[in-house]
Amino acid sequence: MSDLGRRAEELDAADPLAAYRDAFVTTPGVVAYLDGNSLGRPLRATGERLARFVAEDWGDRLIRHWDEGWMDAPTELGDLLARTTLGAAPGQTVVADSTTVLLYKLVRAAVDARPGRGEIVVDTGNFPTDRFVAEGVAAERGLTLRWIDPDPLAGVTVDDVRAVVGPGTALVLLSHVAYRSGAIADLRAITDVVHEAGALVLWDLCHSVGALELGLDDDGVDLAVGCTYKYLNGGPGAPAFAYVAEALQPSLHQPIQGWMGAADPFAMGPRYEPAKGIRQLVSGTPPIVGMLPVRDMLALIGEAGMPALRRKSEALTAYAVEVADELLLPLGARLASPREPAARGSHITLDHADFQRATAELWRRGVIPDFRPPDGLRIGLSPLSTGFAEVLAGLTAVREVLEGGSRGD
């Protein structure tokens, strides 16, 4: 056995979260699933929950279940998510819609809450949805976009933000973890800088929630959005969540006024009156079925604890870098993520000119990473479902493909 193999064996044997891997559905033919930062594995319990839901909650109670829990699900699940993963008190988080729709709601609400300020700050390295939504709202409201062009490896820094915010800034929209490099932005310090300028900050937590410890209340965060299909294992199309600090809720008015966000949805009145508090962020019928898998994963995270998940996340990415250094960098690959484990989320990115071709062959072999143009291979490591030997098997296959293994050389 190689030194890397012995190290993987030792790390797996010492892993206090190793037993949790049995809670996830395994996929025949998949040797290494390295894409948990794009779509988490389903939990075995979720299949059972969905079957019970069809037979009992839906099948037995039918429409009566709206009065027996479904109406409160967006805020009840939001509070559970906040308590388990966000470091946030009740009444500030809601589960509804997609990330894109919630981003739009909060960006519009935020800029309208800062009248007389005409700028939205966003960075060129942010995920396309974030940039596109900001562009759209700026066009709608006659605002100007101020762009940060961050270092691709380090991501957005406090100095980057300080250099662009000022009396004209209404909103700063940033990702906490960069979707390419995995670099972690200094959430608390950047939030403080934005507040000093009198602006609001909206954090995208899609690559943070369920992988990093968060303390939104303690850090003074204004607004946040995140998805539930990555490290919260909600499945494809699972609903997103939005956080609005309690102090801001009376002054924010979201733009998509639907009946489920009304003060009395069944009054069917002539005009819209928003519900009090975070409930006003709901627009249409809540995605009840899509919330079910999220509950299962939050139960697992609550049992394991976010501190333990973060320790495992750092150990996984550190081992992945160790393996890449030995097996892939000699073949021309480059680490496109911070080297310090505490400075990155739960994924690393490796660059190589041949990774686009390699990805198709890796998938054929049952090794599933994530390709991002122009030449990045993202290795996403979900703490509860990924083992160290799995990381080694996956990156060993990457080396074989780069060396020409797909041609049988």
Q: Which of 12, 61, 112, 127 is catalytic?
A: 127
What is residue 72's three-state secondary structure? helix
Q: Which of 35, 79, 204, 351 is catalytic?
A: 204
What is residue 409's three-state secondary structure? coil
Q: Are 207 and 182 within 8 A, CB to CB?
A: yes
378 in catalytic set? yes
Q: Which of 114, 180, 378, 399 is catalytic?
A: 378
Nearest to 205 by CA among 181, 183, 180, 227: 227
12 in catalytic set? no
Q: Where does 63-180 have alpha helices with state H?
A: 73-81, 99-112, 128-141, 158-162
Record the tokens describing residue 87, joined without a space.
């470091």
Cα of first residue to Cα of last residue in the chain, in angstroms, is: 23
241 in catalytic set? no
Angle (CA) 139 140 142, round 5°: 65
107: phi then psi, degrees, rounded to nearest 5: -65, -50
- Burial 247-284, CB ≥16 within 10 A → b, else e: eebeebebeeeebebbeebeeeeeeeebbeebbbbbbe
- If you compute the radius of gyration of the chain from its CA atoms, what whole number of angstroms results? 22
Q: Look up tokens 């906040």; give the residue.
A: 82
Alpha-carbon distance of 243 to 109, in angstroms, equals 13
276 in catalytic set? no
312 in catalytic set? no
Q: Which of 24, 229, 231, 355 is catalytic?
A: 229
Residue 28 vs residues 37, 245, 366: alpha-carbon distances, Å? 20, 44, 9
Residues recognised as catalytic: 127, 204, 229-230, 378
